[in-house]
């Protein structure tokens, strides 16, 4: 696609440059359209809008392909570790031994929170959702390291990035301990990343949690599979905030808030609630599937469907295998897994789901693995946030390293009142009904 695209508006023709990505993705660059024609493009929900050029993650939703920096997710899930994958995403290449050692050491050096941050945990009620605590505490961290907050200095960026990757895990574990009224467990420098998270979550003060390699590997794989996913809702949020030159911690905290919703990261929690309800009601999943297809019902088959994948989510394929392997090795039989598998089979053979290309996404089986590990449901989205942190950081870096980067500022088509005049309070009649 070398020739410019042509657009006819009200009989006048405009030429717009075209763009082709390294994998042949085609786009029309509309950035000059308004200046030429006074018209903007309207794309509610951004389903057809490329917000940036990015060299981090490639997805082909039709063919079910996901690659980080060109490397297929299947290879990373099998051969890499979360820490190595984080390095790959942020710096663009797999690390040498020396680079990996330096990066790991930097994560260890930065794993402890500033001691005064502990007092902030006291202010949250026991009922606080861990995602609320996580976003608040990530944002609060920036107050403790004001000297690090410059955005364009690569050495400071390296320390900030390590601190954030390392501390998101510490904050997450502390918020869990707080919600259960348990004493805080500090990280152990000798443990690797995922081991340390499990230790901080589940050890007692006088008895260390027994680290089983298959559990560590399963959780590490979950982190790898969630590490990036190009311009999804939370990553776009991080880039949006970064574009205003807000610091890395503020940008990542915003990403956590976006991830919290049930249509995004909150889906893994919603999947387990759905499966539990189905199990408790004695349904085998078929009644729920019928309700999910009924347009009068607000139910959706959680863990199914994806904005980009119109084929099986490659992460779901990997996670299903990890789930089977883990439950077998721990000798766990979970009725929710049986229901999930039956529902998947039914949905994949049902015209409603087939026609709409709705396949299981990464969240469909991840919750069952986390349940088996003993991670409580309200922590599921937090696990997603820990995994997604390297992706947010690499996208943040791409924004601030780009000398042509501009503040993100979409436009709109205004559909409100035309100009009208202020009415004094005594002359007004109530037009808005307030819900009680």
Which CB sits closer to ligand ACO, 187 or 305? 305
Q: How far is the CB of 19 from ligand ACO (least distance, A)?
A: 23
Q: Which of 303, 273, 370, 360 is closest to 330 using CA atoms?
A: 370
> Which CB, 111 or 363, lies closer to ligand ACO?
363
**How many residues lie near ligand ACO (CB under 6 A)?**
18
Dmax over CA atoms of the chain, in Å, equals 79
| CA separation for the pair 395, 243 (Å, rounded) | 11
Interface with ligand ACO, residue 392, by CB under 6 A: no
Taking alpha carbons only, the member of 111, 91, 227, 68 closest to residue 158 is: 91
Under the criterion CB under 6 A, does residue 307 sit at the interface with ligand ACO?
A: yes
Q: Judged by CB under 6 A, does residue 267 bind ligand ACO?
A: yes
| Residue from the set 187, 285, 305, 314 that interacts with ligand ACO by CB under 6 A | 305
218 binds ligand ACO (CB under 6 A): no
**306 part of the active site:** yes
- Selected binder of ligand ACO within 57, 141, 361, 381 (CB under 6 A): 361
Catalytic residue among 306, 324, 338, 426: 306
- CA 85 to centroid of chain Cα atoms: 16
Residue among 193, 144, 204, 203 at smallest CA distance from 168: 193
Catalytic residue among 363, 401, 421, 426, which?
363
Burial class, 308, CB count within 10 angstroms (exposed 0-12 / middle 13-18 / buried 19+): middle
* Count of residues making up the chain: 436
User: Is 279 an interacting residue with respect to ligand ACO (CB under 6 A)?
Assistant: no
Using rule CB under 6 A, residue 356 touches ligand ACO: yes
Query: 217, 264, 279, 341: which one contacts ligand ACO (CB under 6 A)?
Result: 264
Q: Which two tokens stand for residue 44?
A: 């509610």
In the list 185, 363, 386, 390, the residue contacting ligand ACO (rule: CB under 6 A) is: 363
Nearer to ligand ACO, 178 or 229 (CB): 229
Comparison of 224 and 301: residue with beta carbon closer to ligand ACO:
301
- Buried b vs exposed e over 187-207: b needs ≥16 C-beta within 10 Å? beeebbbbbbbbbbbbbeeee
Residue 168 near ligand ACO by CB under 6 A: no
Give the range of 29-37, 67-75, 336-344, 358-366 binding ligand ACO by CB under 6 A: 358-366
Q: 269: alpha, beta or left, given left = phi > 0 and alpha = psi -120 to 50? A: alpha
Minimal distance, residue 58 CB to ligand ACO, in Å: 17
Rounded least distance, CB 277 to ligand ACO, Å? 15
Asked if 301 is part of the footprint of ligand ACO (rule: CB under 6 A), the reply reads yes
CA 204 to chain CA mean position, Å: 30
Q: Catalytic residue at 363?
A: yes
- Minimum distance from residue 38 beta carbon to ligand ACO (Å): 30
- Residue 163 or 388: the one with the smaller Cβ distance to ligand ACO is 388
Indicate the angle between helix axes 248-259 and 154-179, nearest 10 degrees.
Answer: 40
User: Applying CB under 6 A, does 303 fall inside the site for ligand ACO?
Assistant: yes
Q: How far is the CB of 267 from ligand ACO (least distance, A)?
A: 3
Distance CA 296, CA 315 (A): 31
Are 293 and 305 in contact, with CB atoms under 8 Å apart? no
Report how far residue 327's alpha carbon sits from residue 149's, in angstroms, rounded to the nearest whole number. 44
Pick one of 300, 317, 325, 341: the residue that binds ligand ACO (CB under 6 A).
Answer: 300
**218 or 316: whose CB is closer to ligand ACO?**
316
Q: What is the DSSP string of 11-38?
A: TEEEEE-EEE-TT--EEE--TTHHHHHS
Which residues partner with 65 through β-bridges?
60
Q: Is 306 in the site for ligand ACO (CB under 6 A)?
A: yes
Query: DSSP letter string over 283-324?
Result: --SHHHHHHHH-TTS----TTB--SS-SS--HHHHHHHHHHH
For position 114 contacting ligand ACO by CB under 6 A, the verdict is no
Stretch that binds ligand ACO, among 13-21, 203-211, 280-288, 299-307 (CB under 6 A): 299-307
- Least separation in angstroms between CB 264 and ligand ACO: 4
- DSSP symbol at 434: P
What is the DSSP code string of 337-404?
HHHHHHHHHHHHTSHHHHHTT--B-THHHHHHHHHHHT--GGGHHHHHHHHHHHHHHHHHHHHHH-TT
Contact pattern for ligand ACO over residues 308 through 347, marking x by CB under 6 A = ----------------------------------------
Any contact of residue 391 with ligand ACO (CB under 6 A)?
no
- Applying CB under 6 A, the residues found at the interface with ligand ACO are 263-265, 267, 292, 300-307, 356, 358, 361-363
What amino acid positions are annotated as catalytic residues? 306, 363
């Amino acid at each position: 696609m070398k020739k410019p695209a042509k657009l006819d508006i009200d009989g006048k023709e405009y030429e717009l440059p075209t763009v082709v990505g390294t994998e042949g993705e085609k786009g029309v660059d509309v950035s000059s359209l308004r200046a030429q024609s006074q018209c903007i493009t309207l794309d509610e929900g951004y389903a057809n809008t490329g917000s940036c050029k990015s060299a981090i993650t490639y997805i082909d939703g039709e063919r079910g392909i996901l690659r980080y920096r060109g490397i297929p997710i299947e290879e990373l899930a099998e051969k890499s570790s979360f820490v190595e994958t984080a390095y790959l995403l942020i710096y663009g290449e797999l690390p040498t031994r020396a680079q990996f050692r330096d990066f790991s050491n930097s994560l260890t050096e930065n794993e402890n929170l500033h001691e005064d941050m502990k007092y902030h945990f006291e202010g949250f009620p026991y009922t606080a959702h861990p995602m609320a605590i996580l976003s608040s505490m990530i944002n609060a961290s920036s107050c403790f390291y004001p000297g690090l907050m410059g955005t364009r200095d690569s050495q400071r960026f390296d320390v900030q990035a390590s601190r954030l990757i390392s501390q998101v895990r510490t904050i997450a574990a502390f918020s869990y301990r707080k919600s259960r009224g348990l004493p805080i467990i500090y990280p152990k420098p000798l443990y690797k990343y995922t081991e340390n998270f499990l230790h901080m979550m589940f050890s007692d003060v006088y008895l260390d949690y027994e680290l089983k390699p298959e559990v560590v590997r399963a959780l590490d794989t979950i982190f790898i599979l969630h590490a990036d996913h190009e311009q999804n809702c939370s990553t776009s949020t991080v880039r949006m905030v970064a574009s205003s030159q807000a610091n890395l911690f503020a940008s990542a905290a915003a990403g956590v808030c976006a991830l919290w919703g049930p249509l995004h990261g909150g889906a893994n929690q919603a999947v387990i609630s759905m499966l539990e309800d189905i199990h408790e009601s004695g349904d085998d999943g078929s009644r729920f599937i019928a309700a999910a297809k009924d347009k009068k019902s607000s139910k959706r088959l959680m863990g199914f469907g994806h904005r980009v994948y119109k084929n099986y989510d490659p992460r779901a394929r990997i996670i299903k295998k990890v789930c089977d392997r883990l439950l077998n090795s721990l000798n766990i039989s979970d009725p929710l897994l049986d229901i999930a598998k039956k529902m998947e089979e039914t949905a994949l053979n049902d015209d409603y789901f087939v026609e709409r290309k709705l396949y299981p996404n990464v969240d469909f089986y991840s919750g069952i693995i986390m349940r088996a590990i003993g991670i409580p449901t309200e922590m599921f989205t937090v696990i997603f946030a820990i995994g997604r942190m390297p992706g947010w950081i690499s996208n943040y870096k791409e924004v601030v390293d780009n000398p042509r980067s501009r503040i993100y500022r979409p436009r709109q088509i205004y559909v409100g009142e035309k100009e009208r005049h202020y009415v004094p309070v005594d002359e007004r009649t109530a037009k808005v009904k307030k819900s009680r």
